[in-house]
Amino acid sequence: MGLLGATLRGVQSNRARLLPWALLVAGLFVAALVLPATRDRVLREPVSTAGFILLVLFIIGFWAIPSDFTRRMRKNPLSVAGFSLIVLFVALAVLAPILAPPPATSRNAYLIPQEGFSSDPKPPQARHPFGTTEGQYDLYYGIVWGTRTAFRVSVTVIAISVAIGLVLGGLAGFYGGRIDEIIMRITDVFLAFPGLVLAVVVVAVLGRSLDNVMIAIAIVNWPTYARLLRGDILGIRGRDFVEAARALGGNDFRIIFRHVIPNSIYPFLVYGSLDVGLIVLTAAALSFLGLGAEVGYADWGMLINLSRNWILGAPGKPFAYWYVVIFPGTAIFLFVLGWNLLGDAFRDILDPRLRGST
């Protein structure tokens, strides 16, 4: 009863702290329904609206229910800042059809609207809040929808890398011997190449496309995940609970995925959260080099690629076209910063050796 009472008191305290923010979000939502300029967009996109509401409810529930994880996060302002940045980008991705509705004639919402073919970028104006790039692609639209592209690339690459790393790293760490030697020598071959150079070669062989960029980055990334998991499993496979599971007749598959991997996965997940930022940077670099998404696709790296001729401005006016780099560059910077701060928070919270310092 004492524990239940303490939990209820914690919920009530957190609820009181979150109530002003919940009222603010509710007020903004009501305002969006009342204002004619936004009401039609909200009603026309029920899926995005419902997704945003679920996101808000998740955040309120996450902070309202007391736990050791949220308590440790509150002690570190940088962790809260990272969490807030990621939530902001998630909201931006969810609300993309409302914030930047695609043209009615668009065959693909990820293709940036193009108004004219002038080579000179145009500065921010009412119709284009962030201005336009070379070729008159709308920067605002590209940044908003590029958020979805960033999440798509990062989640896909992490999923592929984690899947390969789990299988190969798990086999190498659990069985050791010749299997470990073969898998680790394969990872050595991949790790011997500079990551960006190997990714460029893979995309050049497979052909230019965003899907091939994701495949290339996953090929570069999986050896690190395999090595990380293998190292943790080597320290766990001889523990008493593993030997007890083997004595009870558990087969290797059950022991690996029921006992070994769940007890060695935390560093794996922490590295994955820290790796998201690097993945987005690598994808942006490949797009900047002309190896990523097609021209006009909503991708932050592609936006900078379209602006490469104007980075130095005009003769005598170095900041004449500042907006073509500042806006997409800021989006990449904040996205990567948010994941780095959140990854540091996960490491500090989940690593027992660092818990005393948080």
The architecture of the domain spanning 139-357 is Orthogonal Bundle (1.10)
Output the pTM of the full model: 0.84
Residue 45 has a CB neighbour count (10 Å cut-off) of: 19
- For the residues of 185-224, what is the DSSP string, one character each? HHHHHHHTS-HHHHHHHHHHHH-SSHHHHHHHHHHHHHHH
pLDDT tens, position by position, 174-185: 888 898 899 999
Distances (CA, A) of 38 to 21, 42, 45, 318: 21, 6, 11, 37
Which of the residues in the chain have pLDDT under 50?
1-12, 356, 358
Looking at residue 144, its pLDDT comes to 94
Looking at residue 36, its pLDDT comes to 62
User: Of how many residues is the chain composed?
Assistant: 358
Sorted by where each begins, the domain ranges of the chain are 2-99, 139-357
Looking at residue 9, its pLDDT comes to 47
In sequence order, what are the residues at sequence separation of 6 or more whose Cβ sits closer than 8 angstroms to the Cβ of residue 88?
338
pLDDT tens, position by position, 203-237: 999 988 899 999 999 999 999 999 988 888 887 77
